[in-house]
């Protein structure tokens, strides 16, 4: 699959999230440098505070050097519920790219994940043609 296919899958995973009035529904997929899926996750998967990227990264084992993280929403750069943001977790994982469909609106926090990633040497890639798909499970918040 290409970036669009993997990101479409991440957007579809967001529909699995239990609805929330205080957090976005997000899906994430981690793909290795070899093009194979390593892990996937979605917001509130195991805990009401889980973010999608965090859930997927928790399932990934081994070195993620060269991996790409696909997320329906820009990985968070600020966070109130846990000490580390998703952008920080992605940087620490060794992933080299983060591909997302929708820039985080400033509904809960200011979206700064792309800037955090870029400053740390992880390439942020936005595919806005899938933003409508990423917004669908969040319509109740908008």
Do strands 123-126 and 97-102 pair parallel, antiparallel, or not at all (unpaired)? parallel
Question: CB burial class (10 A; 0-12, 13-18, 19+) of residue 5?
Answer: exposed
User: Given 53, 54, 74, 104, which residue is catalytic?
Assistant: 53
b/e burial code for range 25-56 (CB count within 10 A of at least 16 → b):
bbbbbbbbeeeeebbbbbbbbeeeebbbbbbb
Residue 53: active-site member: yes
Which residues are known to be catalytic? 53
């Amino acid at each position: 699959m290409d970036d669009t296919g993997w990101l479409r899958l991440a957007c579809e995973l967001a529909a699995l999230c239990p609805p929330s009035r205080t957090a976005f529904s997000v899906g994430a997929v981690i793909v290795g440098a070899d093009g194979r899926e390593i892990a996937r996750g979605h917001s509130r998967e195991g805990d009401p505070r889980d973010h999608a990227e965090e859930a997927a990264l928790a399932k990934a084992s081994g070195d993620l050097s060269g991996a790409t993280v696909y997320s329906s929403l820009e990985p968070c750069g600020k966070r109130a519920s846990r000490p580390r943001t998703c952008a920080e977790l992605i940087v620490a994982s060794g992933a080299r790219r983060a591909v997302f469909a929708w820039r985080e609106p400033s509904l809960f926090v200011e979206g700064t994940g792309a800037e955090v990633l870029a400053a740390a040497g992880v390439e942020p890639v936005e595919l806005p043609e899938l933003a409508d798909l990423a917004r669908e499970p969040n319509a109740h918040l908008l």
